Structure 1
Amino acid sequence: MDKKQWAAEKKQFNDTSRYNDIMDRPRHVSRAHLPMPQIDRAGQFAPFAALTGYKELLDKTAKRYQNKTYLSREELAELTKQIKTLSKTKPWPLITVTYFNGQNGYYEQYSGQLVNVDWQRQRLRFRDGTSVIIRNLKEIVINKNKQ
């Protein structure tokens, strides 16, 4: 910070001459409201306490997701194309998917009969009620066995 900027800031923040007319006046005390107890004064800063533990939560989530590999745009487009083809296949095929489980932070495999592709919620739904998030998919293999 140069001298000129420092002098301007000092004048701006240390010059109290504008307030000389009220400096010696007594502090206003409301007749309508009781003063806030000193113990409650910290409560006005309580909204900032909502962020307590947020960094730890982010760190924990980041640690869970450190094993996830993200598909390239081309890989995702190929996977989407494969899902669109599967969704037109009747009866629905028996498939095995490799997907990232965000709850435990590892890749898992699941085999089941596909019954619905929910594009709005970006999920594959299976006959037993299981659903897998499309963005978490790594691979889809069509089982050649009869259902």
Structure 2
Amino acid sequence: MSNYDDIINMPHYVSKIRKPMSLQNRSAQFAPFSALTGYDEKIREVARETSKKIELDDGIKLMLNEKLCLIKNDIKLRPKVTITYFVRDNRKENRGRYKTITLNAKVVDEVYKRIILIDNTIISFDNIIDIKV
């Protein structure tokens, strides 16, 4: 005689108040969980590669300024330019990535110190590190 002989053959209890839980909800009780909320996302964010913005010396700034003047003088011809520039990262302070784009120039705006390309991409002069005309 075992300890459970008195209950082993009893019918399974079914609640009259609550509906039976779905199989999906029952299995979710045993699913793995993250003990530290947001930890995985933080690890992915730290692993994401970004760069510091390069500070240009005066000689390179002068060369870029001359190229921008050439583009401005030929702006009616919509010259094709290849620009490498810094794009700030929204999540990491003082970090970002460098992007190179080749398109036709539309406007060289000296007032706001920016160049606008044919697809309306706006690039600040301060973020440009290279221009090829």
Q: Where on the TM-score scale, by shorter chain, does this alignment land: which range?
A: 0.5 to 0.7
* Partner in structure 1 of residue 105 of structure 2: 114
Compute the TM-score of the two structures, normalised by the length of structure 1: 0.50
Residues 123, 131 of structure 1: 8 Å contact kept: yes
Equivalent residue runs for 1:1-147 within 5 Å: 67-89=52-74, 90-103=76-89, 105-142=96-133
> Higher relative contact order at CA 8 Å, sep ≥6: structure 1 or structure 2?
2
Instruction: Count how many residue pairs are aligned between Structure 1 and Structure 2.
Output: 79
Q: Which runs of 5+ in 2 are unaligned?
A: 1-48, 91-95
Q: Which runs of 4 or more aligned residues in structure 1 lie more than 4 Å from their structure 2 counterparts after TM superposition?
A: none
* Cα distance between partner residues in 1 of 2:102 and 2:68: 15
* Cα distance between partner residues in 2 of 1:78 and 1:65: 26
Residues 65, 102 of structure 1: 8 Å contact kept: no
* Cα distance between partner residues in 1 of 2:78 and 2:113: 18
* Partner in structure 2 of residue 19 of structure 1: none
Q: Which amino acid aligns with 1:111?
A: T
Displacement of 1:73 in angstroms is 1.1
Give the superposed CA RMSD: 1.9
Identity of aligned residues (%): 24
- The structure that is helix-richer by fraction is 1
Q: Which amino acid aligns with 1:117?
A: V
Q: Which amino acid aligns with 1:103?
A: D
Displacement of 1:103 in angstroms is 3.0
Residues 81, 131 of structure 2: 8 Å contact kept: yes
Residues 83, 130 of structure 2: 8 Å contact kept: yes
Query: Relative to structure 2, which stretch is displaced further, 116-125 or 66-75?
Result: 66-75
